């Protein structure tokens, strides 16, 4: 059975970063599964439908490696499919319902994180953020509307310049934003009261994987005794890290850093483009989730509560 073109479009969009940011990727993945189920045109054999959905699930998961929100979204929908029984129509409905529920809960989580996180922002705060995170922006915008934020420093976030998305997003809500180059973070840190960033993946020990440069921001904040908050939905926590799996770090094309002509001219120079880094829990003051604020060391509790059901399957070799 052919894969619907709309599903291929979403997969390509995630790969090329037209769709980017861990939460958006997760919702797009759920949407892709929903579209695939709705457009299934195979036989009435439920087994064929399940196989088809597994193919789609694998395709979607393979698009980007680091943000665990992507496999978590897919696992959520596929788990619901695995528990459903009946004919193709009933299975299709199980997929559509699960995908819609994931998307709805994800959007609600971002709103809730904004409300919970804003309470942690000081009055007259100068905030620094890195990359573009919808969850971090939700905290910042909510706090700004409560009259708590004076200004926000937003890093450019080279090489992909997600800082420009942050600038646009925050400005649209009236937040005064100042763009700074990534290299100015340590210099500017003595003016900053709080750092708020997002997360792609949170490991069971509370380490946070986020856009490359986040660990440097956290290091500079630590040195200046500035508190670091990570805004993240609970589907950014990685169940596989409970059994010692490492989080794969994506390396993207060097052409995001220098043009191909430059690479051709400088054949003896290697250009590396790691897209994410790991901030150890010691450099993070708190993680703001939709269920409340936790110290990074409590990540394991969130994981056991939210993904306890998945553990047995992971131990047996995957979901
Ligand atoms: C985006 C990034 C964001 C997190 C959280 O990286 O690192 O900080 O994904 O974002 P990329 P959100 O641009 O490479 O996808 O809070 O929107 O999920």
Quick one: CA dihedral 159, 164, 167, 168, positive or negative?
negative
Both 281 and 263 in one domain: the answer is yes
**Residue 200 falls in the annotated catalytic set:** yes
Both 23 and 152 in one domain: the answer is no
Average pLDDT over residues 195-214: 98
The CATH number given to whatever domain includes residue 271 is 3.40.50.10470
Domain count, the chain: 2
Q: In this predicted model, what pLDDT tens digit does every residue of 88-126 receive, in sequence order?
A: 999 999 999 999 999 999 999 999 999 999 999 999 999
Computed on alpha carbons and rounded to an integer, the radius of gyration of the chain in Å comes to 20
Q: What is the mean pLDDT of the chain?
A: 96
**Residue 285 falls in the annotated catalytic set:** no
* Counts for the chain of helices (H) and strands (E), in that order: 11, 10
> Is the C-beta atom of 165 inside 6 A of ligand 1?
no
- What is the per-residue pLDDT for 1? 80
- Which of the following is catalytic: 45, 123, 131, 264? 131
Measured in Å, residue 9 CA sits from the centre of ligand 1 at 20
Ligand 1 nearest atom to the CA of residue 136, by list position? 16
pLDDT over 90 percentage in the chain: 95
Q: In this predicted model, what pLDDT tens digit does every residue of 35-62 receive, in sequence order?
A: 999 999 999 999 999 999 999 999 999 9
Both 289 and 161 in one domain: the answer is yes
Q: In this predicted model, what pLDDT tens digit does every residue of 15-25 receive, in sequence order?
A: 999 999 999 99
pLDDT at 263 over 80: yes
Confidence bin at 308 (pLDDT 50/70/90):
confident
> Is the C-beta atom of 275 inside 6 A of ligand 1?
yes
Distance, CA of 197 to chain centre? 11
> Is the C-beta atom of 114 inside 6 A of ligand 1?
no
Measured in Å, residue 29 CA sits from the centre of ligand 1 at 15
H or E element that contains 226: none
Both 54 and 24 in one domain: the answer is yes
Both 167 and 280 in one domain: the answer is yes
> Is the C-beta atom of 133 inside 6 A of ligand 1?
yes
pLDDT at 80 over 60: yes
- Residue 59 lies in domain: 5-111+310-315
Quick one: CA dihedral 173, 179, 182, 188, positive or negative?
negative
Both 137 and 86 in one domain: the answer is no
ipTM over 0.95: yes
Q: CA separation (Å) from 82 to 211, 291, 316?
A: 33, 27, 16
The CATH number given to whatever domain includes residue 95 is 1.20.120.420
Both 55 and 198 in one domain: the answer is no
Both 132 and 257 in one domain: the answer is yes
Both 142 and 29 in one domain: the answer is no
> Is the C-beta atom of 289 inside 6 A of ligand 1?
no
- What is the per-residue pLDDT for 319? 54
Both 50 and 179 in one domain: the answer is no
Both 34 and 101 in one domain: the answer is yes
pLDDT at 313 over 80: no
Both 139 and 273 in one domain: the answer is yes
Kindly report the protein residue whose alpha carbon is nearest to atom 6 of ligand 1. 21
Kindly report the protein residue whose alpha carbon is nearest to atom 1 of ligand 1. 21
């Amino acid at each position: 059975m052919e894969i619907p073109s709309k599903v291929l479009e979403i997969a390509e969009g995630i790969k090329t970063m037209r769709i980017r940011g861990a939460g958006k990727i997760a919702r797009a993945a759920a949407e892709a599964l929903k579209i695939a189920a709705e457009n299934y045109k195979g036989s009435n054999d439920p087994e064929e439908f399940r196989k088809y959905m597994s193919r789609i699930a694998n395709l979607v998961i393979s698009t980007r490696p680091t943000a665990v929100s992507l496999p978590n979204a897919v696992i959520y929908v596929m788990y619901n499919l695995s528990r459903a029984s009946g004919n193709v129509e009933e299975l299709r409905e199980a997929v559509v319902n699960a995908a819609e529920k994931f998307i709805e809960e994800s959007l609600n989580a971002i709103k809730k994180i904004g409300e919970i996180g804003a309470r942690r922002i000081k009055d007259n705060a100068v905030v620094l953020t890195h990359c573009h995170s919808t969850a971090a922006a939700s905290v910042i915008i909510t706090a700004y509307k409560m009259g708590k934020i004076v200004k926000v420093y937003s890093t450019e976030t080279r090489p992909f310049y997600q800082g420009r998305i942050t600038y646009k997003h925050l400005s649209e809500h009236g937040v005064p934003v100042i763009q700074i180059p990534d290299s100015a973070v340590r210099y500017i840190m003595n003016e900053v009261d709080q750092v708020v960033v997002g997360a792609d993946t949170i490991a069971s020990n509370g380490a946070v994987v986020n856009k490359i440069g986040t660990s440097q921001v956290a290091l500079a904040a630590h040195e200046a005794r500035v508190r670091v908050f990570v805004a993240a939905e609970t589907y950014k926590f990685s169940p596989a890290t409970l059994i010692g799996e490492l989080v794969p770090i994506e390396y993207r094309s060097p052409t995001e850093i220098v043009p191909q002509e430059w690479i051709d001219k400088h054949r003896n120079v290697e250009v590396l483009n790691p897209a994410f880094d790991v901030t150890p829990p010691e450099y993070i003051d708190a993680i703001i989730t939709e269920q409340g604020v936790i110290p990074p060391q409590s990540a394991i509790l969130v994981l056991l509560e939210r993904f306890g059901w998945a553990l047995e399957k992971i131990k047996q070799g995957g979901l």
